[in-house]
Amino acid sequence: MEPLSAGEIEAHLTTRLLGRSIHYYAEIGSTNTEAVRLAEEGAPDGTLVIADVQTAGKGRLGRRWFAPPGGALLYSLLLRPPLPPLLAQRITMVCSLGVVRAIAALTNVPAHIKWPNDIVVNGKKLGGVLTELGNVTDRGQLAYAVVGMGLNVNLAPEDLPETMTPPTSLLAECGHTISRLELLARLLSEIEALYMPLCAGWSPHEEWRAALATIGEAVRVGTAEEVIIGTAVDVTDAGALVVQDAAGARHTILAGDVTLRGHRLGG
């Protein structure tokens, strides 16, 4: 197993901002929880919190995130883009997009985003993104966002966590191990290349839309209020999914859990 450490990570970085402050833990509860704590203490934009093992990893919708030791990348970025809360989804968009681009740059694995922010390969879940937002400042901007990313890298198929979603890893998809340090460095540089324009007012919507596996698929979306069955036809600039039902009515869903009809992919 290739060990992670703040020094090794720093030696591989090519970024100017992301990861320039590194908090590495051999074991921690959740990198997101720690990044939120550091954010509240005033840690800078681009701070990276990364761990080899999480004992209380958090997934979306209050779920747990499991990863066997040593074979995953488990990290959170503390970001402070000058954005109002209404545009917060853009922060998650650039991070998911950066993940897909880094994987494409280093492997031949066709990774896509499953709305809202799963990283998938041919319907199997390779990773997930969980964003937690800080308060709104006097200027109407988010004080911070913590974006946590969990990716199955060098996990053998038999070691993949059992979830409702069929899981996969880069090892399972490529047939060989991938350097976590090289992948992390590329992830951060791809995210940074999108984060800088985001901070200058650019919308990642078109690029994010093009990287989605969900458009055109038959879906079943569970929201807090109802279950909508139909075809995913679009995503809005705010990151909502537009689903057209059998009667032709369009539903705009801001957050939910998507299942491809008849085959559960949400997890």
Footprint on this chain of ligand BTN (rule: CB under 6 A): 30-32, 54, 57-60, 63, 65, 74-76, 118, 128-130, 148-150
- The residue nearest ligand BTN at its CB is 128
Of 254, 26, 45, nearest to 147 by C-alpha is 45
Nearer to ligand BTN, 45 or 132 (CB): 132
Q: Least distance (Å) from ligand BTN to the CB of residue 75? A: 6
Beta strands in 134-256 (DSSP E): 145-152, 218-222, 227-235, 241-244, 250-253
CA–CA distance, 126 with 112 (Å, rounded to integer): 10
The one-letter code for the residue type at 195 is: Y
Q: What is the CA radius of gyration of the chain?
A: 18
Nearer to ligand BTN, 46 or 230 (CB): 46
Q: Least distance (Å) from ligand BTN to the CB of residue 51? A: 8
Q: Least distance (Å) from ligand BTN to the CB of residue 265? A: 12
Nearer to ligand BTN, 28 or 228 (CB): 28
Nearer to ligand BTN, 71 or 148 (CB): 148
Q: Is residue 148 a contact partner of residue 58, using CB atoms and an 8 Å limit?
A: yes
Q: Least distance (Å) from ligand BTN to the CB of residue 6? A: 17
Q: Least distance (Å) from ligand BTN to the CB of residue 219? A: 17
Q: Is residue 112 a contact partner of residue 213, using CB atoms and an 8 Å limit?
A: yes
CA–CA distance, 24 with 67 (Å, rounded to integer): 17
Nearer to ligand BTN, 150 or 204 (CB): 150
Range list of H helices, 160-227: 170-174, 180-199, 205-210
Residue 151 region by backbone torsions, left for phi larger than 0, else alpha for psi between -120 and 50, else beta: beta
SS3 78: strand
Nearer to ligand BTN, 132 or 237 (CB): 132
CA–CA distance, 103 with 107 (Å, rounded to integer): 6
Nearer to ligand BTN, 81 or 267 (CB): 267
CA–CA distance, 41 with 148 (Å, rounded to integer): 18
Q: Least distance (Å) from ligand BTN to the CB of residue 164? A: 11
Q: Which residues contact 3 (CB under 8 A, 6 or more apart)?
A: none
Q: Least distance (Å) from ligand BTN to the CB of residue 31? A: 4
